[in-house]
Amino acid sequence: MGILSRFGDIISANINDLLDKAEDPAKMVDQYLRDMMEDLAEVKQEAAGVMAEESRTKRLVDENAKEVSRYQELAKRALLAGNEDDARVLLSKKQELENTGASLQTAYAAAHENAVRMRQLHDKLVADISSLNTRKAAIKAKVAVAKTQEKVNQIGASGEKAKAAMSAFDRMEQKADRMLDEANAMAELSEGAVDPADALEEKYRKADASASVEAELADLKNKLGL
């Protein structure tokens, strides 16, 4: 049956492999569960049909067996009554029913095998769904932790960038200080050298001015009688 082959593939699917290939395991877990629930509903419907066929063929087998027994008993009665021709007709009918019964038994055996396989497929799918439901919370928790760790790693990388920026600022500040020192030095050099003679002239000029002030002060004191 095609349905058995199809759902055989579902049973053999490896859940872990599917999750490993997923871009977002947390989302894929929910999606996979939804898909499996849809598959389970279809499996149940198909299994119900297969099991109904098993019951129908079993009922036909049982009914045929009863008919075979009935004609066997009628043939016995005919012989006991001395009606050999009637017994012959009844036994012929019995053999016809037995041939039909053999075909029915073959059909029932196939229907029973299909029903067993469908039950196995159904039970395995139910077990897979139960297992995934149990593991879903753990899978989502792991994904959440992984995303948090990724953010921590990104922040750590930003810290390294900040450290590099601070180092670059330190270098720029040192360079600015050096440029300022050089500029001050150039300004000082631009003022030119001081002539010693000019310095001495300024010294004695101030000394003469001071002596003149002292003489005028003494003259004023004499006039005031001080």
pLDDT, mean of residues 47-72: 93
Half-sphere exposure of 219 (CA within 13 A, CB side): 6
Q: Is the pLDDT of residue 212 over 90?
A: no
Distances (CA, A) of 198 to 139, 201, 203, 204, 206: 92, 5, 9, 10, 12
Q: Which two tokens stand for residue 126?
A: 């139910």
pLDDT tens readout for residues 15-30: 555 555 556 777 777 7
pLDDT tens readout for residues 143-158: 677 667 767 666 666 6
Distances (CA, A) of 102 to 20, 45, 68, 88, 106: 52, 29, 12, 21, 6
Highest mean pLDDT among 10-14, 111-115, 127-131: 111-115
Place of tokens 């001080």: 226
pLDDT for 20 equals: 56
Instruction: Between 172 and 128, name the one with better pLDDT.
Output: 128
pLDDT for 11 equals: 47
Distances (CA, A) of 143 to 20, 155, 219, 221: 12, 19, 105, 104
Domain range annotation of the chain: 2-156, 197-226
Rg of the chain's alpha carbons, rounded to an integer?
56
pLDDT for 126 equals: 87
Q: Is the pLDDT of residue 86 over 70?
A: yes
Place of tokens 């066929």: 53
Mean of the per-residue pLDDT values of the chain? 78
Residue by residue, DSSP assigns 10-45 as HHH--HHHHHHH-SSHHHHHHHHHHHHHHHHHHHHH
* Closest alpha carbon to 146 in 21, 8, 24, 7: 24
> Residue type for 152, please?
V
Instruction: Between 135 and 117, name the one with better pLDDT.
Output: 117
Distances (CA, A) of 139 to 23, 57, 135, 144: 13, 46, 6, 9
For 82, phi then psi, to 5°, come to: 80, 15
State which fold the 2-156 domain adopts.
Helix Hairpins (1.10.287)
The set of residues, in sequence order, having a beta carbon less than 8 Å from that of 144 and lying 6+ positions away, is 26
> Residue type for 219, please?
D
Poorest-pLDDT segment among 60-74, 107-121, 126-140, 212-226: 212-226
pLDDT for 45 equals: 86
pLDDT for 1 equals: 46
pLDDT for 102 equals: 94
